[in-house]
Amino acid sequence: GAVVSQHPSRVICKSGTSVKIECRSLDFQATTMFWYRQFPKQSLMLMATSNEGSKATYEQGVEKDKFLINHASLTLSTLTVTSAHPEDSSFYICSARDRDRGRVEQFFGPGTRLTVL
């Protein structure tokens, strides 16, 4: 149980385009999902917390207009990188908390590798 999927796994796009990444909890309901970014050989940094039916909470320094987050259902959150630039190239990972487990353990998706040319 507690499987999280992400789509796509890899995307290459031209500078200036927008890219949408989906994060799904496959076998559980997640009221809260999280989006992280990981640069090469570095640790994961939280970008934003996504709550179903409400606006996302962004970490300091993360531009909310650039990284649009939508959590429309208990199993789906999306991250849209708008007007992507080469410096946005990174590994994006989502996680979700199982609402019914009664604890705050997070389960992570396989990640999406974004390359902006």
Partner 1 sequence: GIQVEQSPPDLILQEGANSTLRCNFSDSVNNLQWFHQNPWGQLINLFYIPSGTKQNGRLSATTVATERYSLLYISSSQTTDSGVYFCAASTQGGSEKLVFGKGTKLTVNP
Closer to partner 1 at the Cβ: 29 or 82?
29
Q: What does the binding site for partner 1 look like in residue numbers (CB under 8 A)? A: 2, 32, 34, 38, 42-46, 49, 57, 91, 93, 95, 97, 103-108, 110-111, 113
Query: Least separation, in Å, of the C-beta of 108 and partner 1?
Result: 4
Backbone angles phi, psi at 99, to 5 degrees: -60, -35
Contact predicate 55/34, CB 8 Å: no
* CA-closest candidate to residue 75, choices 90, 93, 97: 97
Closer to partner 1 at the Cβ: 49 or 70?
49
